[in-house]
Structure 1
Amino acid sequence: MLADVFKESEFGRDDFTTNNTDSPVVAQFAASNPKDLADAAEIIAPYVDGVDLNCGCPQRWAWKEKIGAYMMEQPELVREMVRNVKARVDIPCSIKIRKHDDLRYVKHPVITFGLQKFVRRAESVGVDWITIHGRTRKQSNRLPVDVEAIKLVKSVATVPIIANGGVFTKEQADQLHKETGVNGIMSARGLLKNPAFFAGHDYTPLECVQVCR
């Protein structure tokens, strides 16, 4: 969700619904400044178990709006955004990042900033976990994820690391976990296709679907 829209209007909050049995649930926001993110986090905090800052969305419109993967070029700003959320709410705050063309260095107009340092800056203000997508912003999702990039982040981090990208089956999830040693696996498109695959099902059983009348 867009933090600025979410905090400003009831219409912007219509995208979010939950219930008492929906737990744990983490709300992910895209934001470009600390105040918008912290304000949105404060509003949603009573209804969720955590807040995540999206630093990975590769879409062109997000880049133009200076959100999503654009935030990977702004390590100090990300640090400040996490710090502000942690100061305002008592629930975990995480970030989702992605691989860069150069694993060690992010090219920036002013500074050269290592991916390792990016992780450590977020850790210095109390980020609770980090999810990394194993492709660059410009790489097709048809390409395999870079296991080495994920392993790099895991090796330098002191907080839990979650791997993301290219996981459509439990076997793929297990293999990525084995290769990287991460603390967890995230899937998006795979779970949209089959919400039960983490439980080992090739397709979602009918008994898993509750019909609401």
Structure 2
Amino acid sequence: MKAKTNIEDLFKTAKENNTYLKVCAPMVRYSKVQFRTLVKSYGVDLCFTPMILADSFCQNSKARVSEFSTTTKDSPLIVQFAANNVNDFVDATQLLYPYADGVDLNCGCPQRWAMKDGYGSALLSKPELICDLVKGIRSNLPNSFSVSVKIRILKDLKRTIDMCRQMEKCGVTFLTVHGRTPTQKSGEEINADALAEVCKSVEVPIIANGGVKTLEDADRIYERVNCAGVMAASGLLTNPALFSGINITPLDCVRQWMALRDRYADRISFQVYHHHLVFMLEKIMAKQQKPIFNLLKTIDSIDEFLYNHILDKRDSGNINLSCDEFVECVFDDAIVSRHVGKCRGCSKSLYYCICSDKYDASNTDGSYFTSHVKKTACDLDYMDSVGNMFGEY
């Protein structure tokens, strides 16, 4: 078990110092351990993993390998899950408990696939289920382990506040509130007044989220809404040094990312390495350079481009990242075995199936269970089930 950080103490320390936590948002595909390592070197206090589907994580070895990795110093760390039932949420959390400092429930994703399956923003209409999910963590894991919920504000502010108060009573450590409704676009203005009302209506710390592109934006939100933390997403992708007060990605940051690639060559895909650089260099590259860089296909061609157009080979810069060792995660077989397949009748893992009392497996040839399990867990293609998504939820 790697070293732990008490998230509640993290908030207390920031408050005592009259400041706020700088937070890296959960971003699908992008807020993985290498990027978390990078942004922490530029002033980020707390990182989230990308959103992970709790049921797929429990069922699928590919999901566990592709969606979660960590290092010995990857703390403080919150794992964010999309879940729509207590069993999946609790089991997924127990699998990752040794490797994280807390778990977060996604109640903000507005994408259609998530809403259709009862994830993300769909949960905002079911506050009683959200509370059951939070209570499930509180009943099964130590109180020192953080449990939080990320929501969006509703058009009815009173309903938003009532829901936050309910979650507070259920035992959340903190809440993250995105300042837009589920139907608003990412470019629209956040409702800072609504965020301020939420912050003054509950006792637990609130992390404000939405529209943060610079440190000045973060400071402005903190002062206006009196929150305990400020979360950035796309702003950090474009400029991982955002919270250090630098408004354009510094070249040392690019060098740090290249050093991380070299250190973790077998742990970072070409796609992730390239895409992050596309974001980082957005305000650095000339307009005519961007389409050329975007079409590069190899690591070597990327490095050649960077040294020909962006970086000076003679200047090694200031590479001060601590290259931590990866933790080899071992997941509890007893928990994993509960999720070997799903029932088509109730969509739950067969271990928790509410239909099972209608069937006696000992008196059949097993055809019922064979027909109701889509595939074995290892046969599932996790990313096919998620789709080609990008976003911050």
TM, length-normalised to structure 1: 0.92
Please give the alpha-carbon distance, in whole angstroms, between the structure 1 residues aligned to 2:244 and 2:140.
Answer: 36
Displacement, 1:123? 1.0
Give the superposition deviation at 1:206.
3.7
- Aligned pair 1:87/2:139, yes or no? yes
Q: Deviations over 1:73-99 (max 9, x none)?
A: 010000010000112222100000111
1:1-213 alignment, distance < 5 Å: 1-14=52-65, 15-90=67-142, 91-104=145-158, 114-208=159-253, 209-210=256-257, 211=259, 212-213=261-262
Amino acid at match of 2:60: S
What is the SS of the residue equivalent to 2:157? coil
Q: In structure 2, how many angstroms separate the alpha carbons of the residues matched to 1:195 and 1:22?
A: 17
Bigger Cα displacement from structure 2, 181-190 vs 197-206: 197-206
* Structure 2: distance between partners of 1:39 and 1:119: 24
Q: Give the distance between the partners of 1:49 and 1:205, measured in 2 at CA.
A: 30
The C-alpha deviation readout for 1:49-89, integer Å capped at 9, x for no partner, is: 11000000111111111100111101000001000011222
How far apart are residue 149 of structure 1 and its match? Answer: 1.3
Amino acid at match of 1:130: L
Kindly provide the amino acid, as one letter, of the partner of residue 62 in structure 1: A
The CA distance in 1 between the partners of 2:75 and 2:102, in whole Å, is: 10
Any gaps of 5 or more consecutive residues in structure 2?
Answer: 1-51, 263-393
In the aligned structure 1, how far is the partner of 2:220 from the partner of 2:252?
A: 28
SS in 1 for 2:58: helix
Question: Structure 2 CA distance, aligned partners of 1:35 and 1:122?
Answer: 19
- Cα deviation, 1:17-41, whole Å, max 9, x if unaligned, reads 1101211111100000111101000
Residue in 1 that maps onto 2:357: none
1:144 shift after superposition: 0.6
Q: Which amino acid aligns with 1:94?
A: S
Measure the CA separation in 2 of the matches of 1:152 and 1:35.
Answer: 33
Deviation at 1:130, TM superposition (A): 0.3
Q: Which has the higher contact order (CA 8 A, sep 6+)?
A: 2
Distance in 1 (alpha carbons) for counterparts of 2:99 and 2:252: 27
Letter in 1 for 2:126: Q
Rounded to whole Å, the distance in 2 between the matches of 1:144 and 1:116 is: 20
Q: Any idea what SS the aligned residue of 1:79 has?
A: helix
Amino acid at match of 1:124: K
How far off its partner does 1:102 sit?
1.6
CA shift for structure 1 position 203 = 2.7
Question: Runs of 5+ in structure 1 lacking a partner?
Answer: 105-113
